[in-house]
């Protein structure tokens, strides 16, 4: 397939793949362990919720970066925000308290969020419409392969001592920085570098006039609110009630990575061949099984199945925003569409992860997981209603 694509597409894919594989080493050694390590070093339920919500809250600030305000071109923002943000994690060498741990991770999330609108713009410009989902899926497959190895190795090292995160995370950050630098080798086709002002509020909200996009935002927001409500509960249950060892956390990371990898094979092709309504229906249905498992049991074997499902749907969640938005928006509008999508995610992330522990402590864990399921099922019903009026064809 690649040989039939234009040279600039192959050039983009080559450097995107190398950057993705380096990110796999970084992500596998760091991201699966954020909440587990935080809880084990004494993070409160509020701090765990903050760690879960951090990427979503931080991503909301990406709305300030929808325009090329420095006139450097889109790749520049994707590179330097990730270089600086990931370099912040080197400070973990000197972090011992859960408070400082939470602050460092939030700073990392805040700075790296700058890259998202620009990354979406590069994907829109450099990958052809009919092949975008598949090409981005192949990149994530390369990422997932390295992620699996990295997460297993990190879990094994953390099993020897949870405090080893102070060395693992900074070491992983080096590969994250190299990944960003490699992405900088991508050249955007026919890009005019010109300083622009910050986007006006009316420009940012303009995508809401697009009815299919507005419908997507409504249904997806209901679904993701339910998902985020339960996300902080998983590490709390795993540590406090299932008493998961660090090595098992590494195995969970590997299971997540493996199904994440399978997910990219599946979703990359599914997205290119099916309407949005079918994609969302399947995503919402599969996702609802995760809180359902936690409703039934805390057995580690069953929780590992839930972790596998979480990895499978995470690949869809990672692809869906980029692919759907690049279908609906023009190259100029793509960063604004992405920023609005991420901004709403910030609002969801600032509320839902804190609501889950509150329900758990106030009413009970089963009510918390039941509420999460109710949101997901409601989104499933709603998207099928919209399917009948052909909004998502």
If you write DSSP's letter for every residue of 217-245 in order, what string do you get? Answer: HHHHHHHHHHHHHHTTHHHHHHHHTS---
Helices (H) and strands (E) in the chain, counts: 17, 0
Tokens of 281: 């229906």
CATH of domain 2-184+203-388: 1.20.1250.20
- The pLDDT of residue 50 is 87
The whole-angstrom separation of Cα 48 and Cα 287 is 21
Cβ-contact 339, 204 below 8 angstroms: yes
- Which residue, among 118, 39, 106, 58, has the nearest Cα to 338 in the 3D structure? 118
> In which residue are the tokens 């050039």 written?
11
Q: Provide the pLDDT for residue 243.
A: 85
List of the chain residues with pLDDT < 50: 197-198, 200, 389-391
Total count of residues recorded for the chain: 393
Q: How many CB atoms lie within 10 A of CB 313?
A: 23
Is 0.85 surpassed by the pTM of this model? no
Place of tokens 């400082």: 100
Per-residue pLDDT tens over the stretch 266-302:
887 787 777 888 888 999 999 999 999 999 998 989 9
Calpha distance 243→36 (Å, rounded): 11
Q: How far is it, in rounded angstroms, from Cα 165 to Cα 93?
A: 8
- The three-state (H, E, C) secondary structure of 65-104, written as one string: HCCCCCCCCHHHHHHHHHHHHHHHHHHHHHCCCHHHHHHH
3-class SS of residue 117 = helix
Tokens of 47: 């701090």
Tokens of 263: 């997910």
CA atoms within 13 A on the CB side of 107: 16
Q: How far apart are CA 15 and CA 22, in angstroms?
A: 11
Six token digits for residue 377: 């099922």
Q: Are 329 and 207 in contact (CB under 8 A)?
A: yes
How far lies 198's CA from each of 66, 190, 192, 330, 384, in Å? Answer: 8, 22, 17, 19, 38
Token pair 């498992």: residue = 293
The residue ranges of every structural domain in the chain are 2-184+203-388
- pLDDT at residue 390, rounded to an integer: 46
Q: Are 250 and 162 in contact (CB under 8 A)?
A: no
Residues with Cβ within 8 Å of 275's Cβ and at least 6 positions away in sequence, in order, are: 387, 392, 393
Q: What is the dihedral of CA 383, 384, 388, 392, to 10 degrees?
A: 40
């Amino acid at each position: 397939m690649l040989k039939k694509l234009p040279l600039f597409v192959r050039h983009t894919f080559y450097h995107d793949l190398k950057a993705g594989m380096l990110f796999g080493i970084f992500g596998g050694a760091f991201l699966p362990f954020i909440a587990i390590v935080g809880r084990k070093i004494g993070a409160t339920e509020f701090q765990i919720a903050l760690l879960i919500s951090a990427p979503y809250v931080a991503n909301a600030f990406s709305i300030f970066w929808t325009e090329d305000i420095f006139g450097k071109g889109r790749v520049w923002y994707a590179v330097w925000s990730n270089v600086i943000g990931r370099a912040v994690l080197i400070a973990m060498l000197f972090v011992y308290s859960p408070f400082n741990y939470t602050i460092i991770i939030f700073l990392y999330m805040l700075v790296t969020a700058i890259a998202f609108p620009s990354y979406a713009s590069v994907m829109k410009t450099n990958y052809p419409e009919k092949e975008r989902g598949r090409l981005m899926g192949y990149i994530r497959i390369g990422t997932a392969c390295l992620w699996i190895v990295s997460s297993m190795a990190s879990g094994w090292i953390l099993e020897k001592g949870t405090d080893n995160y102070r060395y693992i995370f900074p070491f992983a950050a080096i590969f994250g920085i190299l990944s960003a630098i490699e992405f900088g080798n991508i050249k955007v086709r026919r890009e005019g570098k010109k300083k622009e002002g910050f986007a006006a509020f009316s420009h940012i909200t303009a995508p809401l006039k697009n009815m299919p996009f507005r419908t997507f935002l409504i249904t997806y927001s209901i679904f993701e609110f339910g998902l985020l409500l339960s996300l902080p509960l998983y590490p709390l249950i795993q540590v406090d009630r299932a008493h998961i060892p660090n090595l098992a956390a590494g195995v969970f990371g590997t299971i997540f990575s493996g199904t994440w990898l399978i997910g990219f094979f599946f979703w990359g092709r599914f997205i290119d061949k099916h309407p949005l309504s079918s994609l969302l229906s399947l995503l919402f249905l599969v996702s609802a099984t995760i809180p359902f498992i936690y409703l039934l049991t805390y057995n580690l074997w069953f929780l590992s199945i839930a972790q596998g499902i979480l990895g499978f749907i995470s690949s869809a969640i990672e692809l869906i925003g980029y692919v759907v938005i690049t279908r609906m928006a023009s190259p100029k509008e793509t960063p604004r569409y992405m920023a609005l999508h991420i901004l709403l995610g910030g609002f969801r992330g600032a509320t839902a992860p804190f609501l889950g522990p509150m329900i758990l402590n106030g009413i009970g864990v089963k009510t918390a997981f039941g509420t999460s399921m109710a949101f997901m099922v409601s989104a499933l019903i709603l998207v099928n209603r919209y399917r009948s009026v052909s909004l998502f064809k």
